[in-house]
Structures are given as structure tokens and as C-alpha cells.
Amino acid sequence: MQGFLPPSISRSLSRPVLSSRALLPIRARVCFAHRPAKNSQKPERAAANRYGIKPSPSFTGLGLSIPVAVGLKAFQTIYNPTDAQREFIPAILAGKDVWIKGQTGTGKSFGLVLALLSKENSEGMHTSTSSLLIVPHRDLAYQFLHWIERLMHHDADISHPLSSTVQVLVRGVDDASTQVARLCETPPQIVIGTPQAILDVLDADEAALDVRSLSTVVVDEADYLVDYVPTEATKTKKQQLEQKIKRHPSLANQLLDRIFAQRLLSPESQIRCPQLIMCSATLHSGLRQALFSSGWFPRGAGNISKVKSEKSAIDAMLLSTSARDDTENVLGGRDIVHCVLVVSVDGEVKNIDGAVKAEVAEPKAEEEESGESLETDVARLINLIESSNVELPELGEEVTARFSMTPSPFDPAVMEGLATAFAVDVPSVALLVLPATAPVQRAVYDLRRLGVNACGLDLLTLDRGRAHLVRAIGEPVEEAPTMLVATLASMRGLDLPELSHVFILGVPDGQQKVDTYLHIAGRVGRFGRGGKVISILEERREVEGVDGKRGVRDEPGQLMRILKTLRVQPTMYEHFN
Ligand SMILES: Nc1ncnc2c1ncn2[C@@H]1O[C@H](COP(=O)(O)OP(=O)(O)OP(=O)(O)O)[C@@H](O)[C@H]1O
């Protein structure tokens, strides 16, 4: 890292100036040369002693630092790296620019964390920030924070504060000046933030986060954050998009332009800039072209290690019907079942035409096995409604009062269908994904009134929200099954281990509908687990447009086109046969 530092900062470093890139073979020695003097025990041994175990050689063999490999013991299901992690972790540690593409839920983001923590000195205090991790939304930032806390601060013995390892920059929690003060007081090894919040801090005080001292910049969910023109767009559409991007570049583009400003100014020179890592389940050729011409990478881009992991780590996890390398639309998860429910104008809920019976018999709820049917489900639902807490304390009295007097934007029949499907099938936690601009609180209110234990997805402030990150799979849950409500803008990349069902209201909107569906569906079926994705749609109907013209809205038709691209055949949701 120090190779990039301005002389003033390099001089101020108390530790020896060594390049992590050049010193991979002696990484452990470099990493631990800077532990606090009070601890004379060799850091490798100290870290291993905390658990009385040796870290897995399969992880340390990749160059992960010993404390990180030991910290993995806090994750009781992680024993060996995936093939993809085996490929990209050494590439990152060697300082290469890397693009990582692989199915949802295959450990890309987690592997990134392991690599970033193993770069430079992962223990003790830091003089400047070495890694910047750019994420699309705050909940993903908190998920990364939570992983790092578990990996590096799992033990009361650890003397340095979490804020010296990692800090989060997101809007709506602290203002920029508080964040600046915190960064100056304790420069963390890693900063995780949304583009907007990082730009806010840079505008408030550029020195608080010196981008020239960064050794690594990571963009997670890169295709969501970075501007690009899809190759399949028509010529006119391409021209429109190119102009729009020129006039209004995304915040991530603005941030990356700022970080790589020197290289953009003199592309021919060999100015050393941070290594740049792009990661997503969907890195299309349009984005790859945009990255090649962005100027952020060194000319020629011969240094890029392209890691494409569909076939390697996760052979066992490929959805057999949808592993299509050519379209780049690959669904993670072997056992994801896709269901589509259509709600008619008069409120009837049924499976979409063409849905097939589930191939493998699903585990049946006790009451179904005893011969009871949907009537029992409905009775259970009515019970839930009667016993539900309609005071909605988390929403506040004022909001509750306002909602009780205003009509809901959600179709009541659709919400009822959703509540029934939830009541009859969800054992623990489900996620409801709304369109990007839909009001989350209103959906929570409507669902609560239907007896659903709903709450807005919030991994920061709600204890029970955060609990969903921590709880181990299969751990008994005390509270009633929960429906976490999020929008399309806030679900990318999230990993909630106990999630079994994702409900999608309507058809994913936006430019890349197929990708969006794939990312939503990818919240379940992670790391070999199963799951159900249930879309709830209005039946095809005539609607009046904003211009007063009448048209047809055909949600079932639109969704079937998406599923066809993914080579997915909808499965019957048996409760609605
Ligand atoms: N080597 C491993 N062995 C077992 N489990 C792992 C391993 N690496 C990661 N995991 C687990 O896999 C889950 C998914 O990881 P992660 O969120 O990194 O996937 P992802 O590929 O980034 O997904 P997405 O594309 O949706 O962002 C996490 O619960 C993580 O703890």
C-alpha cells in the first residue's frame, strides 16, 4: 500500500514501508510485526490459542492471515474455501485487479471480506484506511460490518476497538461531520459505504478519507452501481443511455472518477492507483465494456484476473435447468422452487397457467398430513388476525393514525393472498420485496392488519432485524414467523441464513428485469440451501395510463418471459390448487 502514499504520509508511518504485493510469502511476518507491544506472544499462536485450535490450512494456504483464518471458527459451517474463493482470494492478495462473477449465495462477498482483512495489518490500530468497499445500500454495509465483527472481534481478549478495523459510512445514521470526526480519530483499516455517503465525507473533508492512500477499492454489486449500456439495447436506446450517463453519471461513477482521477488525467503514465475489484452475480458484457473504457484500470487491462465461478465452486449448486453460460443468467441454488400466484379482479388467488406440480414432494405441515386442507389454513389465518397486534408500536401512533385514514396503494386482494401464502407455508422468516418506490411502512401496516408479523427490513436499528443475520440455520425461533419487508433497492447482496421464502410483489421493474429477478430469487437457495420464490401478480387487465389512454397491463405475461429467459418453469404452490 505504501507505494501509493504521498511522502508526507509514508514518513508519518511508524511501521516499516513494505508492499503487501511483493511480500506474499512472508505475509504472516509482515502482518504481525505491528501488534501492540504489550502482547509479546506470537500473534499466530495467540490467535490460535483463543480457540485452542489451529486455523484451517486450506484457508491459510490461500494467504489469509492467521487471525482471519482463526476468526472463521466463529462461523461454524465454514471449513474450506470454495473453488471461487480459492481463485480470487490469492489474486486479491497479490494486488491484481479482479472481476468476480458467480452465482448468488456462493460466498463472493464473504470471500472479499476475508481477503480485505488479510491485506495489510488486520490487527491493531491504523494510520490510514487501506481498503474501501462500496456497496449499494446501508443494510448490505451493516451485513459486512457484522461479518467483520464476528471474524475479528469475536473474543473479549481483543484489545483494539472494532472502529479501528472497520467503519461504515451510510446516510441517515450520522451526519457527515460526525463521520469525519470518527475517521480522523480512529482511521479504520476498511471503510464500507454507499457512494452517496462516501462522497458526502469527501466533500466535508477530503483528508478524513485520503483516497490516495487506498490500496484496494471494491465495488460489490457492481452492475447495480456502475453505469453501463446493455449490449442488447436497440441503437436508439443505446444512444439515449450513453447521453444520459454522460450528463448524469451515477454516484458510484463519480466516486470512482474521483479515486482514479490521476490515472484519468494521464492514462499513458504508470501512476500507481489502488487495485480495483468488481463483484456481482451479473457482470454482463455491456458492463465489462464500460469498465474497459472507464479509465479506472491500467491501460491494456492485461492485469485483470477474471474469475468466473459458475462451474467451479458450485457445481453442486447449479440449478440444472438454468445453467446457461451464454446468456450469463445463472440462478444460484439447487433447490429453489419458483411459484407464481395470480390474483383476479374479484380477489381469487390461483396458480399461473402452466405451473407444474412440484417434482419432489415438499415437506408437509402437520395439519396437512392429518388430512386437513386450505380451510384449516384460513382458520389459522383468521386466528392470527384476531390475535395480532394492530397497535403497530414500531410505526408510531401518528403514522398508524394516518394510515388508518388513508387508502392503501396496495391491492387488498393481493395483500390477502400474500398473507395467506405466508400463514400456510413460512416456518420462520420470509422476505417480501416491493417495487423500488413502494412504501415499506404502509405494506407493514397492511400486513399487520392481516395478522402477519411484518416489519421493515432494518439490519441496523431493530434488534430483531439484526438477529436475522446472526441466528444459525435451524436454531429455534421464539417469535412468530416473520415477514421482513424491503424494496428492490435494499435487498441486493443480503444474506439472511434462516430465510426460506421470498415473496415478490409484481414484476421486477427497471432496465434489467431478468437480472433483478435473479438477484431477488438469489436471497434464498444460498450455499446449497433450498427455498421458495413466490411472485404475486395481478391478472392481466385494462388500465388507464397517466396520459388518460387505455392500455393493458399483463404482469403474468411479463413474468413468464423473465422465467423463460432463465429456463425456469413455475411450480404449483400447492395451497392454491
Ligand atoms: N467457504 C465457505 N463455506 C461455507 N459457507 C460459506 C463459505 N463462504 C461463504 N459462505 C456462506 O455463504 C453465504 C453466502 O455468502 P455471500 O453473501 O458472500 O454470497 P454472494 O456470492 O456474495 O451472494 P450475492 O451474489 O447474493 O451477493 C454466507 O452465509 C456465507 O457465510
Q: What is the CA radius of gyration of the chain?
A: 25
pTM: 0.78
Q: Is the CB of 109 under 6 A from ligand 1?
A: yes
Rounded CA gap, 545 and 552, in Å?
9
Cell of 357: 406440480
Cα–Cα distance list, 111 to 350, 359, 542 (Å): 41, 34, 48
- Asked if residue 448 lies in contact with residue 390, where contact means CB atoms within 8 angstroms, the answer is yes
- Return the closest-CA partner of residue 124 out of 12, 3, 6, 14: 14
| Cα–Cα distance measured from residue 518 to residue 495, given in angstroms and rounded to the nearest whole number | 14
Cα angle for residues 409, 413, 416 (degrees, 5° grid)? 100
Measured in Å, residue 280 CA sits from the centre of ligand 1 at 12
**Do residues 326 and 541 make contact, with C-beta atoms less than 8 angstroms apart?**
no
Q: What is the pLDDT of residue 66?
A: 87
Copy the grid coordinates of residue 403.
394510515
Q: What is the 3-state secondary structure (H, E, C) of 141-206?
A: HHHHHHHHHHHHCCCCCCCCCHHHHEEEECCCCCCHHHHHHHHHHCCCCEEEECHHHHHHHHHHCH
Please name the helix (run of DSSP H) or strand (run of DSSP E) that holds residue 279, with its range, or none.
strand 275-280
74 lines ligand 1 (CB under 6 A): no
* 501 close to ligand 1 (CB < 6 Angstrom): no
3-state DSSP call for residue 526?
helix
Q: Are strands 349-351 and 336-343 parallel, antiparallel or unpaired?
A: antiparallel
Q: Let me know how long the chain is.
A: 577
Residue 92 near ligand 1, beta carbon < 6 Å: no
Ligand 1 neighbourhood includes 71 CB (under 6 angstroms): no
Mean pLDDT for each consecutive 10-residue tract of the chain (577 residues)?
35 32 27 30 46 63 89 84 87 88 85 91 68 94 91 71 91 90 93 97 94 94 92 88 93 96 82 88 83 80 54 27 35 73 90 83 46 50 47 67 90 91 89 92 92 83 53 54 88 86 90 86 79 93 81 92 90 83
Q: Among 317, 526, 529, which is best to mutate for testing ligand 1, by the most ligand atoms less than 8 A from CB?
A: 526
Q: What is the C-alpha to C-alpha distance for residues 117 and 31, in angstroms, rounded to an integer?
A: 11
Helix (H) or strand (E) holding 304: strand 304-308
How far apart CA 436 and CA 237 sit, in angstroms, is: 22
pLDDT at res. 11: 32
